Amino acid sequence: MHSIDDVYLSSLLVAKAAQAHERGIKLDINAQGIIPNNAYAATDIVTVVGNLLDNALDASVGTQEATVWVEVTAADDELIIAVADSGPGIEPEFFDQLMRFGVSTKDGSGHRGLGLALVQQAVLRLGGTMNVDNDAGAIFTVTLPLKNNN
């Protein structure tokens, strides 16, 4: 049986897969485990996963591989969300600046620099952490304590 949080997450991932397809991007999804009912507000999970995926899709469009990977794992006492892209990556010294409202690596075409700041707010409010690595693109990893509020 799936929790309501799993249903929201699944719906979001289906919608993002459709967006990726429309933009010519391959989206690889791997989800494991079940998020306990009411572990988080659905808006928090949508904020974290949705904004990370939006940024990854934007970074990957037009790249040679044009691929985004998302892995969501609910196990033991943690929820781990990892999103990677085939884009150019993020300079490590710029990462802290990206967590502030209004800061963006994107050109001025309507991007306001809100997504990562909102993700960071949600992660901190939920007692989690967010890290970024650069390999062949940016890899964001969010780790949240998994609360069982059934």
Query: In this predicted model, what pLDDT tens digit does every residue of 112-138 receive, in sequence order?
Result: 556 788 898 999 999 999 998 887 788
Residue ranges in the chain modelled with pLDDT below 70 = 1-5, 93-114, 148-150
Per DSSP, the residues of the chain read ---HHHHHHHHHHHHHHHHHHHTT-EEEEEEES-PPTTSS-HHHHHHHHHHHHHHHHHHHTTSSS-EEEEEEEEETTEEEEEEEESS----HHHHHHHTSTT--SS-TTT--S-HHHHHHHHHHHTT-EEEEEESSSEEEEEEEE-----
